[in-house]
Amino acid sequence: MDFNQLSLYVQKGNGGKVKEMVSEGLAQKVSPTEILNEGLIAAMTAIGEKFKNNEIYVPEMLMAAKAMNAGMQVLEPVLTATGVKPIGKAVIGTVKGDLHDIGKNLVRMMLKGAGIEMYDLGIDVPAQAFLAKAKEVGADMICLSALLTTTMPYMDSVIKEFEKAGVRGQFVFMIGGAPVTEAYAKSIHADCYAEDAVVAVDVAKKYLAKKQ
């Protein structure tokens, strides 16, 4: 199987070809873990580097992430059946009062591509919904997104909800969005801040490794 070609199809956002190649690889008995690591994750790492270097922008990243997801649809059932464990579980959502989801969707796709099991609660999510889902799935990480300065303070309410329930220490909180800063993350006692989807992957992996 030509992993370089698979990576190129992902990077170009060609979901149809990605699906086709992943299916062919599995039919040829190529290890699903190898397809994931050498093909899909390698492609998203390359895309991340290009994004950092301003060689591509958000639309190209979204296209690549969607193509990677097309491959994951074929791969996931096989990975699950062979007992390959995700590196962690994360609940993600845009906080209550905020209806923006492009950044959140990109982070979700990138984290999923990095081997994290993702539970997306969508937009306008109340604190109780984050808490209920985190408990239900046994999440390791909670990812909060906000694009408005008016909704950003609600991130603090979510963290306080977990404190009130006495379970704050069980979860890593990562926050992000256009108005969010490192200083704000510290002020509400979030564990970490990610300025974009590429950084989110690095940060999430680091904190999940610590949590293990």
* Per-residue pLDDT tens digits for 127-151: 999 999 999 999 999 999 999 999 9
What pLDDT, on a 0 to 100 scale, did the predictor assign at position 45? Answer: 87
Quick count: other Cβ atoms within 10 Å of Cβ 167?
13
Tell me: pLDDT of 212 over 80: no
Span(s) in the chain for CATH 1.10.1240.10:
3-81
Q: Which of the pair, 52 or 192, is modelled with greater confidence?
A: 192
Nearest one of 105, 76, 97, 73 to 200, comparing CA atoms: 105
Tell me, what's the pLDDT at 120? 97
Residue 195 has a CB neighbour count (10 Å cut-off) of 14
Per-residue pLDDT averaged across 65-94, rounded? 91
Whether the predicted pLDDT of 203 surpasses 90: yes
Q: Which residues of the chain does CATH 3.40.50.280 include?
A: 88-211
Read off the pLDDT of residues 95-109 as tens digits, 9 standing for 90 and up: 999 999 988 998 998
Q: What number of other Cβ atoms are within 10 A of residue 131's Cβ?
A: 19
If you write DSSP's letter for every residue of 123-156 in order, what string do you get? SSB-HHHHHHHHHHHT-SEEEEE--STTTTTHHH
Looking at the domain that runs over 88-211, which CATH code has it been given? Answer: 3.40.50.280
Percentage, residues of the chain above pLDDT 70: 100
Q: What percent of the chain has pLDDT over 90?
A: 77
CATH of 3-81, one of 3.90.1150.10, 3.40.50.300, 3.40.710.10, 1.10.1240.10: 1.10.1240.10
The pTM assigned to this predicted structure is: 0.83
Half-sphere exposure in the Cβ direction for 85 (13 Å, CA): 4
